[in-house]
Chain A
Amino acid sequence: MTTLWDTTGTAVVKALAAERRVSGAASGLVLTLVVVTDEAQVEATEQAATQAASQHPCRVLVVVRRQTAAPEPRLDAEVSIGGRLGPGEAVVMRMYGRLGLHAESVVLPLLASDAPVVTWWFGEPPDLIAHDPLGVLAGRRITDVQNLTDPRAGLIARAHDYSSGDTDLAWTRTTPWRSVLAGAYDAVTGRPTEARVVAEPSSPSAALLAAWLGGRLNLDVRIDDHRGPGIAEVHLQVDGGPGAEGTDISLVRDSEHSGRLARTGEPDRTMPLPRAEHGDLLAEELRRLEPDPVYAAALGRLAGLGDLADRAAIRSHIWRDPAEQAAAHG
């Protein structure tokens, strides 16, 4: 591990190359993961990135923006390979002052050559991804609206800002629910007549799940309130099947790991429904690097914008200076 205080981007590139020589590091890098976070959450970020990197070896670049108003720009960096940040290569960079607004100048030369770039905002996502140059240089962008005070509004904003290759962890959290429901639906034939999601009112995942079900089944899906956390129950009704009144499918979370699947005419089953941690969610996102059209469709329906899948994948940076904004507001 090499720690560099008050350094330059060039020195960080050199330190990484030196670490690679010493440790005989791998050439098999398949992607670079850029994580944007703040000082308070560095530890949680590192933990999640380490967990994901142990499944998908990648170069992890953690960018911590600090005190953007500080008068002197400054860069501190920590370079490690096969160290505390998992088996891969990791660089943790703290950027002070206006350097934070030009983080890409340090990050660009550190990207693994010709490998895909994934940017993940650990905390609040930017209002517009184009405002952050670290989002513009990535082919895949991961946000988490759960971290916003109003996650549902955050989702709408994501929909307006959507471009191919965006994804949100609120969507990733629905995967276990969607797998069990799709599996249960394999066994029924007939027309869907009703679908209902029961969840915490603010849950963005519930909204996405409902939008997905609605879009796929061509129904309006109601969301009933529950204290949560997150999604508690999903109920589907289909006409036809074993019962004369149709078939009911319901999936009710009964523990942190599992849910009870009940179907008309079938014995109840306990199905895996894990509440995944950040690292697992991130690992699922890194498994596939192509755009997710199913998410685009659900998000578009949720915001009433139609299918978003044909939005362009490339953004151009829109300059925004927080100092000017603060001045305008002040």
Chain B
Amino acid sequence: MQLSNPSNPLRDPRDRRLPRVPDPCALVVFGVTGDLARKKLIPAVYDLGNRGLLPPGFALLGFARRDWDHGEFEELAREAARKGARTPWRPEAWTRIADAVRFVPGSFDDDDAFDTLAQTLIELEASHGIGGNAAFYLSIPPAAFPTVLKQMRRTGMASNDAAGGWRRVVVEKPFGYNLASSRELNTLVDEVFTPGDVFRIDHYLGKETVQNLLALRFANTLFEPIWNSHYVDSVQITMAEDVGIGSRAGFYDGAGAARDVLQNHLLQLLALTAMEEPVSFDAESLRIEKKKVLEAISLPTDLATGTVRGRYTQGWLAGSRVSGYLAEEGVPAASRTETYAAVRLGVETRRWGGVPFYLRTGKRLPRRVTEIAVILSKAPHLPFDATATTELGNNQLVIRVQPDEGITLRFGSKVPGSAMEVRDVSMDFLYGEAFTEGSPEAYERLMLDVLLGDATLFPRNEEVEAAWKVVDPIEEFWAEGGHPEDYRAGEWGPRSAEAMLAREGRGWRRP
């Protein structure tokens, strides 16, 4: 086994030019023929290699039910990397990776295939110096998890001790279907791997702006003093998509917007916005604070008025006609699945008591945008004529997660002229303008973290379960009866979403 040399004299924490490079290792991708692997994972591996962030001993293994040899897989992987890479395409950079690309064909219940996989890992230790280290990326439907995990236990692939190195597993959302199934899944994964070696990917947490939220809050003196119910009127967190469900009807119709997005992305964003300052920036301290906030979330007293679900109907979006949800291929006519979900949550802590957190997500909304808007209270007294401030709204601090990553601050300013008139203006910080240094793709960053063993940006088990405790009562209430309310594709959601805020004298911000 190769031990990292903790006292490497060539490394110096002050030497900021040298990148962190993982230990020698293999990355094993299950379901390597899938969309995610081709569009994100393989390009991310290439980008890491191109930036010199892969260790000297590195191998990429693909596992899928295809009758391929290494060469055919290498070709597919090269094509995928060339199409999806963020960094410039350099054939010689790929050659370095290609040399260590392996493919193991087989289905998940095929014992022989998993034996071959285990054998290949052992061979690579000798031929490519990967040590006993391997990360397994499960880019497969959750239904297949038990089979694959059992196979890994049988072959001893998941055991750190047996391998004489580290063995990690990467799991994609959905992390279950509700609290019970998520616990089941967690137990299963934790039985096979050590809990600390399980990495749950929420790719939103890999985005620079989300990490910048922590810098914004905890590295500055400007924002933290107002980050509480004394100054904040409400918080709106939006994740809007302009696309429909595409070919995902099979999965989507069984899940819906709340399970697909609200349970993971939106609640993680809420946790990062509302949490207390962690004592340090490591994975454990962050997890403690996020878990505390997630457990302090309260649901609206009346779920009928405090939640909204919608479903898109035929409409026009970005200049073309798109069909309604029920007309999408594979959606049953009796479907009651929501494609839009909005909910008013509270965070029952001293800092946030009384501040509503409005979360919304939907498909076929006018544009693709994710943002966190912190809406500040109005000034308690305005020493101007009433007519001078009619156009003055609430001050807002908006963190734009995607696209146009950045921060907007909205505040009132005098309109030039002889009369006193105050109107809202925006001050913009565009991430890409201050640092265009190509921000790494979320997957690139997260993959590197997995190989480095840094779990800071990965939600832990307890967070996932706490998030289900928020979503489950809503889902149960929705299941009792009723239908999602229709909204036209290309609109900002159903009418009752507007009504939900209007009742409290507020309105959604147009992102």
A interface residues (Cβ-Cβ under 8 A, vs B) = 26-30, 54-57, 87, 172, 175-176, 178-189, 192, 213, 216-218, 255, 257-258, 261, 263, 266-267, 269-272, 283-284, 287-288, 290, 292-294
Contacts and interface: CB of A to CB of B under 8 A. Distances in A.
Contact of B434 (A57, A178, A263): A57
B435 A56 contact: yes
B96 A294 contact: no
Given A30-B435, A187-B5, A216-B9, A178 B18 contact: yes
Interface residues of B, number: 44
A217 B7 CA distance: 11
B24 interface: yes
Contact of A272 (B4, B49, B433, B435): B49
B56 A182 contact: no
B90 A257 contact: yes
B268 interface: no
A267 B129 CA distance: 6
Contacts of A26: 430, 433
A269 B435 contact: no
SS class, residues of chain B in contact with chain A: loop
Contact of B5 (A178, A188, A263): A188
A271 B435 CA distance: 28
A271 B96 contact: yes
B92 interface: yes
26 contacts: A28-B429, A28-B433, A29-B434, A55-B437, A57-B433, A172-B17, A176-B52, A178-B18, A179-B19, A183-B21, A185-B8, A186-B8, A186-B11, A216-B10, A217-B10, A257-B90, A267-B127, A269-B56, A269-B128, A269-B129, A271-B56, A271-B96, A272-B93, A272-B96, A283-B437, A288-B16
Contacts of B16: 288, 290, 292
Interface string B104-127: 000000000000000000000011
A290 B92 CA distance: 34
A269 B59 CA distance: 12
Nearest to A236: B10
A132 to B, nearest CB: 26
Contacts of B12: 216, 294
Given A258-B96, A294-B14, A189 B3 contact: yes
Interface in B424-451: 427-430, 433-438
Nearest to B17: A175
B67 interface: no
A186 B127 contact: no
Given A182-B18, A185-B11, 14 more contacts: A27-B427, A28-B429, A28-B433, A28-B434, A30-B434, A172-B17, A175-B18, A182-B10, A182-B11, A187-B23, A267-B126, A271-B56, A271-B96, A292-B17
Contacts of B96: 258, 269-272
B95 interface: yes
Interface in B79-110: 90, 92-93, 95-96, 99
A255 B14 contact: no
A290 B9 CA distance: 22
B404 to A, nearest CB: 12
A283 B436 CA distance: 11
Contact of B52 (A56, A57, A179): A179
Interface string B44-74: 0000011010011100000000000000000
Nearest to B91: A257
A288 B438 CA distance: 15
Contacts of A213: 10
